[in-house]
Chains A and B, each alone.
Chain A
Amino acid sequence: MNTIPKKSFAQKWHIKALVWTAIVLALFIASCAMTGVDVGAFLTGFNQFMQIFYEMLKPDWSYVPFTIKPIIQTIQMALIGTLVGSIIAVPFAVLAARNIVTNTVIRGTIRFILNLVRTLPDLMLAAVFVAVVGIGPMAGVLTLAIFSFGMISKLFYEAIETIDMGPIEALTAAGATKTQVVWFAVLPQVYNHFLSYFLYTFEINVRASTILGYLGAGGIGELLQRSLGQFRYDRTAIVVIGTFIVVVVVDTLSNQLRERLQ
């Protein structure tokens, strides 16, 4: 039988794809209208954009010494934020893991809280914490702690859910309590995953912490805000270059450590 399978009318004319394209196109046009997209204004204003860009191409190298201290502070903030966030995350992760906690109410509540925490963008948390504890790196540390808590607890409980149940059953059969099971059967199995996710979260926190200072939460972002406020784009360029170097160095180091863990 050498017949080619017949396509239905909808398949032949790609009705489904066309309908979806039309929906997306309609939403896109509506969004553009709502946000006042004006290609003409963009083209005429593009000179302004390029002018800032040209100023950035001539970085003010004499500004470099002033950026060292804030950059170090940025890394310190990221380190502490990651540590605090992951310490708080461990108990939450254990309570949210399907294979440890069989009670759906507790698990559901914990997961709901974690989902809520993850919806809040980092800069928004920074704005709130600056209002609470005042301008300074403390606000940044708290922001990063909450931000990494939301992310790392999800990674942690997903890691816990993939472990081998054998040791847990063995310990339970031998009469171990819940705490003993977690301590001797669960944690040794996920230890390497935890360290790896810790480093990964640290990378993300370094990226995040470079802009938190824009709202007064410490670190290199403060210089970003200052230089932009003074229209010193040559200095902004230095800050951006510094951020770039820090992010690349931290990513490389962390990637190498994570590869060793596997």
Chain B
Amino acid sequence: MTIKKTFWQKYEAWIWALIFVIIYVWAFSGIPVTGIQAVAGEVTKSILHGLFHPDFSYVYTGDGEDLISLLLQTLAIAFAGTIASALLSIPFAFWAARTKKGGTHLGSSSGKLFLTIVRTFPEIVMAIMFIKAVGPGPFAGVLAVSFHSIGMLGKLFAEAVEEIDRRPAEAIIAAGGTQFDVLIHATIPAVIPEFISLTLYRFEIAVRSASILGLVGAGGIGAPLIFAIGTRWWPRVAIILLGIIVMVTVIDFISGYLRKKLV
């Protein structure tokens, strides 16, 4: 005797496939494919030509507006922003971490909600707000990175705090230690390696965002890039993209190496 399959068991995969197809038919109906401009082919050709003939004279000119100086500035924005953000995130992490068992989690839930809001707030809008406050330039970029990163770093730090081993803290309390002793001898040593590793990871992301913040005038390599794209100066676009690729690859490599050493 074979067991009869229910209708749902029999057709589940087909129903999901149908839903999937309907969603995609709807999605494709919303995007006008005719929107491609007639010169796209020509532009692509000149881009490719430019990409294979990068403007190497831009790499170093000595006037502080060249590729190397601006890449260094981008790194400086990411670094200063990440370090400041890591320090600012610590209190938020302890606010959002759920360390007590049972009961209501009003404190930690409100902290988590706050961090989600910060995380979803577009970084570009934040950068523009800071530009209004301190004027265009790399400092606005540093501020945008430092405040925006709190959303993600605070969340990751809070998860690290939630996951630490509680037994050393109990041992210190049992031996007559104060809450302050617990913080110094149990909590901080347990979370520091984790915090450093997460900060390095966030630094990798910050390098990427610092390189696009210049699109709105917050310093770094983004400004000359958008200028070069706007003026269709493809050899210049190519050298900037190459510079960014090399910078991000090197930073990812160093950061990955350091993070492996930490664990």
The complex places the Cα of A27 from the Cα of B138 at a distance, in Å, of: 16
Decide if B244 touches A119 in the complex (CB within 8 Å).
Answer: yes
Given A119-B249, A121-B212, A247-B120, verify A236-B125 contact (CB < 8 Å). yes
Please tell me the size bucket of the interface on B.
35 or more
Residues of B within 8 A of A66 (CB): none
Q: B211-247: which residues lie under 8 A (CB-CB) from chain A?
A: 211-212, 215-216, 219, 222, 225-226, 229, 232, 237, 241, 244-245
Q: A40-88: which residues lie under 8 A (CB-CB) from chain B?
A: 41-42, 45-46, 48-49, 52-53, 72-73, 75-77, 79-80, 83
Q: B102-142: which residues lie under 8 A (CB-CB) from chain A?
A: 116-117, 120-125, 128-130, 132-135, 137-139, 141-142
Decide if A49 touches B132 in the complex (CB within 8 Å).
Answer: yes
Decide if B128 touches A228 in the complex (CB within 8 Å).
Answer: yes
Decide if B249 touches A244 in the complex (CB within 8 Å).
Answer: no
Given A38-B139, A77-B31, A115-B249, verify A131-B134 contact (CB < 8 Å). no
Counting residue pairs across A and B whose Cβ atoms lie within 8 Å, the total is 167
Query: What's the dominant secondary structure at chain A's contact region?
Result: helix
Decide if A131 touches B137 in the complex (CB within 8 Å).
Answer: no
Residues of B within 8 A of A121 (CB): 208-209, 211-212, 244
Q: A85-128: which residues lie under 8 A (CB-CB) from chain B?
A: 115-116, 119-121, 123-124, 127-128
Subset of 24 A-B contacts with CB under 8 Å = A27-B79, A28-B80, A30-B76, A31-B75, A31-B80, A35-B219, A41-B134, A41-B139, A46-B133, A73-B30, A119-B244, A119-B249, A120-B245, A123-B124, A123-B215, A127-B226, A137-B30, A137-B31, A138-B31, A138-B35, A138-B36, A224-B122, A228-B128, A244-B120
Known: A32-B80, A215-B215. 8 other contacts (CB 8 A): A31-B83, A35-B77, A35-B219, A45-B134, A131-B43, A136-B32, A214-B215, A243-B120
